[in-house]
Structure 1
Amino acid sequence: MKKRFIALGVLFLSFGFVEANAQILSDKAMGALGKGVSGFTFSDADAAALAKKAIDEMDANNPVAGTNDGYSIRLNRLFGKHISSEGVALNYKVYLVKDINAFACADGSVRVFAGLMDIMDDNELLAVIGHEIGHVVNHDTRDAIKAAYKKEALLDVASSQSGKIETITQSQLGQLGSAMIDSKHSRKQESEADNFSYDFMKKNGYDVNAVESAFRILQNLSEGAEASFLTKMVSSHPDSGKRAEEAKKRAVKDGLYKAYIQQKIVNTAPVKATTTKKKVTTKKK
């Protein structure tokens, strides 16, 4: 895969999103949604069902770190205690790709890229995934799926009161995947997720200054060789510099601010100690 830097918060990425069948809302129901028919409700359960199918396809078609991989060991150490947050059941995996990103889905799936884990220490990584959890808890991921449906206009307005789950075609799933990639969170949603991340860090006794530090890292990346690509990706979001400043202001207000010093980053599996048996010899009498 060609290396590229991708802004945080993208729900589904273009790589590995192969065509497949998935159970989602019927054409009739989504026709109602697209036309604003009040009789249709896109529930959290609907969003989670679609997200589960999509993430299963992504997991099947991308390099997922195994349980004994150093990246998985590190992520499990950090987030094993946070498998449930605000009543949302979460599951974590690492994609062994160089892209710098993390994303969350409406079903509670959180996927972190090895490229991100290579440049952020434990506290910074906690801050980033806390942000992604915020998008799930705040229903932003559900709203993004809903917006993707409306944008793609995959559905027929006729007989729109049926809200059951049906099978869509492979080409429709491809269309939906592209729409979800383009469906970015609003500035308000990003700010609320940033606040959730800070509160998550504070509540769990982590260093809140890592929130600012994580955004500073992204800011530095956006000002580098990949700046034009990042600018396109985050055009509808608050820039990382401003978000870093907001996190710093909160830390100052709480009397917790101090310049953050990045800790050592270790993504390798611990080496198991090996013991060798000494050969016992007996002297002949």
Structure 2
Amino acid sequence: MKCIASLFLIAFGLPTLTFAQLNPSLMQAGLDAINSATLSNDQVVQYSRQAVQQMDAQNPVAGPNDPYTQRLNRIVSRHRTVSGLPINYKVYKVKDVNAFATADGSVRVFKGLMDIMTDNELLAIMGHEIGHVINHDSRDAMKSALRRSAIRNVAASQSGIVGKLSRSQVGGLADNLLGASFSRRQESEADDYSYDFLKRNGYNVMALATSFEKLAKQNGGGGGSVTQILSSHPDSKARAQRVRDRARRDGLVR
């Protein structure tokens, strides 16, 4: 799920630039770049980092001595690196029930999510979101958004190097972090990654199921702000049952 669905971490969908915003003499070169230039993984990481930095600047980030930060640090103390990827965690003091992870290893958890989840459920959600990163879902979504929005400048067509983004373009990418949808297959694979992450590290895998069940309750009008993470997981009950069935097959629950 997307970040919260960091359990179920997280999503995209950028606004496109209009032709009026492009210099006509560069328009064709820009279109050619979109069609032919290949974004490297390093470039995707760079853009993801820029977008997250802008989001951090625009949202209330819990400070190092804030109780929310201290709780999150305690929860993730063993998991500063996951599957070889260095992770940086922060809390947004926003009431929405949400979370997301990006291709550069940034994980952002919203206060509203922390308020309704146990420590293990938060780990399950973050595990799901990190699963999207490890499985390259976040990278591929960012590449697609970059191409759709035509934000690369003409230098890309001449050198294959993506140009520096303007503030508004980075802002579009930031919006994209909370707007994209993953396929059912991608969501199931991220669920499986979270399940395996919990099992491998000795946590109760049922935290993944109970997280989904809480999301289903929120989506059904149980209170709180229904954000992208909830609207993107209409089948939370079914996914919770899938986790329970797998745990039963694995002999982890009766």
Q: Show the counterpart of 2:66.
A: 69
**Greater shift after overlay, 127-136 or 221-230?**
221-230
One of 114, 119, 135 as aligned partner of 2:116: 119
Distance 1:175 1:169 in 2: 10
- Counting only pairs closer than 5 Å after superposition, residues 1-285 of structure 1 correspond to structure 2 as 8-11=8-11, 31-32=31-32, 34-35=34-35, 37=36, 40-155=37-152, 160=157, 162-224=159-221, 234=231, 239-257=235-253
Q: Is the 8 A contact 1:94 1:113 kept in 2?
A: yes
Q: Is the 8 A contact 2:205 2:247 kept in 1?
A: yes
How far apart are residue 246 of structure 1 and its match? 1.0
Q: Is the 8 A contact 2:100 2:107 kept in 1?
A: yes
Structure 2: gaps (5+ residues):
15-26
Q: Is the 8 A contact 2:63 2:69 kept in 1?
A: yes
Q: Show the counterpart of 1:269.
A: none
Distance 2:156 2:129 in 1: 37
Distance 1:154 1:135 in 2: 24
Distance 1:127 1:45 in 2: 27
Q: Alpha carbon RMSD of aligned pairs, Å?
A: 3.1
How far apart are residue 231 of structure 1 and its match? 8.8
How far apart are residue 47 of structure 1 and its match? 1.1
**Greater shift after overlay, 222-231 or 168-177?**
222-231
SS in 2 for 1:82: coil
Q: Deviations over 1:233-280 (max 9, x none)?
A: 645x5621111111111101111126xxxxxxxxxxxxxxxxxxxxxx
Distance 2:177 2:103 in 1: 12
Q: Which has the larger radius of gyration?
A: 1
Distance 2:112 2:224 in 1: 17
Bigger relative contact order, structure 1 or 2, given CA contacts below 8 A and separation 6+? Answer: 2
Distance 1:50 1:195 in 2: 27
State the TM-score, normalizing by the size of structure 2: 0.82
Distance 2:105 2:29 in 1: 24
Q: Deviations over 1:88-110 (max 9, x none)?
A: 11010111111101100110000
Structure with greater helix percent: 2
Distance 2:237 2:29 in 1: 41
Aligned residues: 237
Kindly provide the amino acid, as one letter, of the partner of residue 166 in structure 2. T
How far apart are residue 140 of structure 1 and its match? 1.1
Q: Is the 8 A contact 1:48 1:107 kept in 2?
A: yes
How far apart are residue 179 of structure 1 and its match? 4.3
